[in-house]
Amino acid sequence: MFRPGLLFTSYSSARNVASKSAPSITSSRHGPSTPLRFYSQPPGKTTFNRSRTGQTSARAPRSSSTSNVITFLTASSIGVGAYMYQWNKDRQGSIFSSISAPEGLTTENWTPILLKNITKISESTSLFEFELPKPCVIPLSSAVYVKDDLIQAMRAYTPVHSTETEQNTLQLLIKRYGEGQVSRFMHSARPGQKIEMRGPILVWPASRPDLEKWDEIGMIAGGTGITAMIPIIQSVLANPDKKIKISLLFAAQSSEELYFKDELDQMAEASQNQLRVVYTIDKTPVGSSSEQEWKGHVGYVNEDMLKGLLPPPKSIAEGALLTGEMKDDTEKGAKNSIVLVCGPESMVKHVAGTRGTSGQEPIRGILGAMGYTKDQVFRFPN
C-alpha cells in the first residue's frame, strides 16, 4: 500500500508540463465490495479518534531546498517510471490490456476528482473518500497517482478497497509525513475540493488467473502498506476453486496504527485456517489493561517472527523434500510461493533491501539472510 503510496515523482517544470499526457498503461479490476470499516468493537461502534470541532490542519511551509529535492526526485524516478511502463506494456493479451480506462479517471490524463469526506483515523492518518466522475474498475494491486499541482509533485497510493467490478467511490488511507509534500497537501485538503488524479496503474499481477499460480502467499506489511494486501486477501478468500494459503505479519508503530485489524481478525477467523495474521508493534501499549490484552509481538520485524509464518525459502523447502520431511513440493508452497512486502521505505529496506530503480535488486535484509531470492519476493514501490 504501497504505503499507501507507491512511487514518488516530483516535477520542477511548470504546471502545463505536468498536464501533458503520460504513456498509456492499460489495466483493470474488480468492483464495489462493501467499504472496509475501522472498528475494534462490533460493527456500528467506532473507536478511532475523530477531529475535534474546529480543528484544522495547514499546509506545512516548504523547505528552501525544495527545488533541489524536486530535481533529484524527478531524475531518480525516471527508471522506476520506465520499468512500470514497460512492465504493463509487456502484459499484452492479459485481461488488463483488454480493458481500457473509462472516461474520467484515466491512466493518460489528470482528472479532477471530488473529495467527499475525510475521516481521522489516528493522530497522523486519515481516510479520504472520493466520488469518481464515472464508475471505474480499480485492479487489485494497482495504484492511483495524486498530484499537488501547486509544486507539481505527485505520489501513487493504493486504494483501500479494489474489487473486480465497477465502483463509484475511491478511498485512500494516507499518513502525513513531515517531509512528504503530497501527504501534507492531502492533509490540508477539505471536503468539496477537487484533487487531480491519474490511474489506475497495475503494480503486481493479482487478477484471479495470476493468483491461481500460487499455493501460498506470505505478506509483510508496515502501517498503511496494509492497503496493498487487503484486496489480495479478499480476492483469495472469495475464490473457492483454489485454497491459497496466506500468512501476514502486520507491523506498526503503535496499536492504533494497526489499520483494519478487526476486519483482518474476522477474515482470519472465518477462513478456516486459510489466512493467518500476526501483529507486531514497536512498543507495548500504554496502560496495564492494554499490556495484559496485547497478544502480538513487540519490536521491529525480525527473523524469529517470520520463521514458521512465511512459506520457506526454496533452498530450505527443497532440502526438506530430499530428506523426506516434506511429502511434496506444494505442501508448503515450496515451488509456488511468494512473499509480498509493502510499507515505509525504512521497513522495506530492513526486511528485504531496497528495490532500486529497476525494482529487481537482489534481496537483502532479513529475508536475504533467511535465504530468499528475488524470484520469491516482491517489494511494492514506496
What 8-state DSSP symbol labels residue 33?
A: P
Rounded Cα gap, residues 325 and 235, in angstroms: 31
Q: Is 198 exposed, middle or buried (0-12, 13-18, 19+ CB in 10 A)?
A: buried
Q: Read off the pLDDT band of 339 (50, 70, 90).
A: very high
Is the Cα dihedral 237, 337, 296, 353 positive or negative?
negative
Largest CA-CA distance found in the chain, in angstroms, rounded: 66
Read off the pLDDT of residues 256-273 as tens digits, 9 standing for 90 and up.
999 999 999 999 999 999
> Shortest CA distance to 227 belongs to which of 346, 305, 304, 121?
121
Question: Which CATH code for domain 212-379?
Answer: 3.40.50.80
Confidence of residue 326 (pLDDT cuts 50, 70, 90): low
Second CATH level (architecture) for the domain 8-202? Beta Barrel (2.40)
How much is the average pLDDT of 349-363? 88
CB-based contact 224:174 (threshold 8 Å): yes
Hey, where are the domains in the chain?
A: 8-202, 212-379
- Band (pLDDT 50/70/90 cuts) for residue 179 is confident
* Residue 283 per-residue DSSP state: S
**What's residue 164's pLDDT?**
72
Q: Is 233 exposed, middle or buried (0-12, 13-18, 19+ CB in 10 A)?
A: buried
On average, the pLDDT of the chain sits at 75
Confidence of residue 358 (pLDDT cuts 50, 70, 90): confident
Report phi then psi at 188, rounded to 5. Answer: -100, -5
Q: How far, in Å, CA of 159 to CA of 78, rounded? A: 23
**pLDDT tens per residue, range 124-142:** 999 999 999 999 888 888 9
22 or 146, greater pLDDT: 146
pLDDT tier, 30 (very low <50, low <70, confident <90, very high otherwise): very low
pLDDT confidence band for 308 (50 / 70 / 90): very high
Query: What is the spatial order of strands in the sheet that 297-298 belongs to?
Result: 297-298, 275-281, 245-252, 216-222, 337-342, 377-379
